[in-house]
Amino acid sequence: MLLLAPRTVDEIARGLAARVKALRLARNWTQKEVAVRAGLKLDTYRVFERTGRISLERLIRLAQVLDAIDGFDRLFPEPAAHSLDEFEKLGVRQKRKRARRRDA
């Protein structure tokens, strides 16, 4: 069995940026074209391709532009239900509870 060393956050980010770059190049788009289509500043996009650093909102915009948005749905899957009781609990979302306002 081959064991791989855990990847660092930086390695994951750089790998993600490399895949985004590969998608961009497969479409024969320049960095500027991707940035404009995603509503990003060119410098922001260039930094992302070089370092992998970008905000989540901007990453989502890039995913939309590159038709890769479906991958986000698979990031944190809902836990599987092993019984009917668990299934019912997963289907019912709790309302957010707040304290009542105090009249001053």
What is the tens place of the pLDDT at every residue in 81-95? 677 776 666 665 555
Does 80 have pLDDT greater than 60?
yes
pLDDT 10s digits, 58-75: 999 999 999 999 988 888
- Identify whether the C-beta of residue 40 lies closer than 8 Å to the C-beta of residue 78: no
The count of C-alpha atoms lying within 13 angstroms of the C-alpha of 32, restricted to the half-sphere facing its C-beta, is: 0
Q: How far apart are CA 72 and CA 66, in angstroms?
A: 13
Residue 4, pLDDT above cutoff 80 = no
Taking phi over 0 as left and psi of -120 to 50 as alpha, with beta for the rest, 2 belongs to beta
67 within 8 A of 20, measured Cβ to Cβ: no
Range of the domain at 53: 9-91
- pLDDT given for residue 2 in this prediction: 56
**Does residue 96 belong to any structural domain of this protein?**
no
Residue 99 lies in a domain: no
Q: Does residue 24 lie within any of the structural domains?
A: yes
Spatial distance between the Cα atoms of 101 and 82, rounded to a whole number of angstroms: 40
Query: Has residue 4 been placed in a domain?
Result: no
Total structural domains in the chain?
1
pLDDT value of position 92? 55
Task: Give the domain CATH number at 36.
Answer: 1.10.260.40
